[in-house]
Amino acid sequence: MHVALVGAHALPGEPSKGGVERVVQVLRRKLAERMQVSLVVPGAREGLRFTDEFGDITYLKRTAGPGFLTYWSWSSLAVYQEIERLNPDIVHVQGVAGDSLFWPVGKKPRKRPMIFTAHGVLEVDIVHTAGEDVLRRITVPARAALIGTVERKSRDRYDEVIAINEYVLEAMPDVADLRYHLIPNPVDDVFFHSPRAPRSPDGVYHLLQVGVVSPLKNILASIEIAGELTRRGTPVHLHVLGPIVDVKYHQYCLREVAKLGLDDVVTFHGNATPPEVAAWMDRSDLLLLISKQEMAPMVVAEAHCRGLPVAVPRAFGLRSMVSEGVNGIFLDGPSVADDATRVGRVLDVGLDRERIRTGAASRYEINGIIDRTLEVYWEALEMSLRVSGRLAEV
């Protein structure tokens, strides 16, 4: 079988930026152990064809114009042309459904089955990524409405949908009327098998936040919790790992750090490789993730695989990933002081890290996830071949 993946991926030699790129990276590597895999990367910084031990990658350079208009139009056509060139047996789109909107496909099921995995609610994400740009903020409602329409229309074009947790059905009710399969994201082997990094007791609780530096990740909320704990006399240090994708937001966070007198309490470390992230998780006491929107964040699954408890909002897909008092806590507010109290309590008491690690190893075992993904591929392909009358050929 030859599968064409469509999704985000770092350019050769560059580290992954964010959970979606890590999902695509891991899925590509593991699928390549069992079949031919080609990857098409829409909206890349530059156009490039590249081949490594896992297969071919085609980076399609982002076209000029606003991203919310181009990804489902000119970019969609460019992806389709590349798919035709590759001529795979099956296509698996990771991320946004609109990548396929302009593909000239007929009625379902088709000769070349199409599978979709959503990694975010794009029309919601865009509300929290407008930043301080006045024009972007003013146009948010119109852009969100357009994107919501595009995504709903596009999802109906797929033969199968992989839902990474139950929140997908809540955020995208139309998926419930499609053929869907609940399969969690694959977690990099590094977070299962990387040697444990030693923790040197220093009398400080180490808080960790991992993700791109942007308003969507709400890093400011973590800074405020660290500030409140410090004010109460609880020794903490907040470590922020991740690339800076919104420079103005990063600068705003730094100003808040200075204003709160937290220069020695909060450190931005920049991007990190998966082995480095795993080591940071081993040396930390709690992962903070107070995002304004999430689906099934990779960093929570990765933290659990390292036995690290998490503190997250009681919202989104996090509700199905976190068990209160077992592998983390929910931050219900309503104030920073309330959240800081909950964080301080779990830091003092601690949670059973071995129990967290064991539970995650069962839930996110990668070979089982790949097996279930392949079952979806074969079911979609068999149905397509049966309808076309070509089942006897395979």
CB-hemisphere CA count at 13 Å for 240?
23
Q: How far apart are CA 313 and CA 288, in angstroms?
A: 10
Phi and psi at 41, nearest 5°, equal -115, 100
How large is the average pLDDT for residues 367-376?
Answer: 95
Instruction: Render pLDDT for 24-42 as a digit per residue (tens, 0 to 9).
Output: 999 999 999 999 999 999 9
Model pLDDT, residue 388: 63
With b for 16 or more beta-carbon neighbours within 10 A and e for fewer, the 296-313 pattern comes to bbbbbbbbbbbbbbbbbb
Average of per-residue pLDDT across 186-198: 91
- Average of per-residue pLDDT across 354-358: 96
Of the two residues 57 and 245, the one the predictor is more confident about is 57
The average pLDDT across 186-208 equals: 91
Q: How far apart (Å, rounded) are the C-alpha atoms in residues 67 and 75?
A: 9
On the question of pLDDT at 390 being above 70, the answer is no
Distance of CA 345 to CAs 65, 203, 205, Å?
49, 16, 12
The per-residue pLDDT for 69 is 81
DSSP label of 327: T
Res 17: pLDDT: 82
What is residue 86's predicted lDDT score, i.e. its pLDDT? 96
Q: Kindly state the average pLDDT of the residues 68-87.
A: 91
pLDDT per residue as tens digits for the range 84-136: 999 999 999 999 999 999 888 765 556 789 999 998 888 887 777 666 666 66
Q: Of residues 295 and 115, which shows the higher confidence score?
A: 115
Question: pLDDT at residue 391 above 60?
Answer: no
Helix axes 336-349, 219-231, angle to 10 degrees: 70
Residue 394 pLDDT: 46
Q: Is 51 exposed, middle or buried (0-12, 13-18, 19+ CB in 10 A)?
A: exposed
Percent of the chain residues past pLDDT 70, beyond the cut: 94
Please spell the DSSP secondary structure of 299-318, one letter per residue. Answer: HHHHHHHTT--EEEES-GGG
Among 67, 61, 62, 63, which residue's Cα sits nearest to residue 47? 61
CA distance 233 to 170: 41
Domains and their CATH numbers in the chain: 2-186+365-389 (3.40.50.2000), 190-360 (3.40.50.2000)
As a whole number of angstroms, the longest Cα–Cα distance in the chain is 72
Determine the pLDDT at residue 392.
Answer: 44
The whole-angstrom separation of Cα 63 and Cα 318 is 34
pLDDT in tens, 232-260: 999 999 999 999 989 999 999 999 999 99
**Each residue of 208-240: pLDDT tens digit?**
999 999 998 999 999 999 999 999 999 999 999
Residue by residue, DSSP assigns 24-79 as HHHHHHHHTTTSEEEEEEEEESS-EEEEETTEEEEEEEPPSS-HHHHTTTHHHHHH
For residue range 173-183, list pLDDT tens digits in order: 999 999 999 99
> What whole-number distance in Å separates Cα of residue 307 and Cα of residue 319?
18
- Looking at every residue in the chain, the average pLDDT score rounds to 91
Residue count (the chain): 394
pLDDT tens sequence across 299-325: 999 999 999 999 999 999 999 999 999
pLDDT in tens, 2-26: 999 999 999 999 888 878 899 999 9
Task: Name the pTM for this structure.
Answer: 0.89
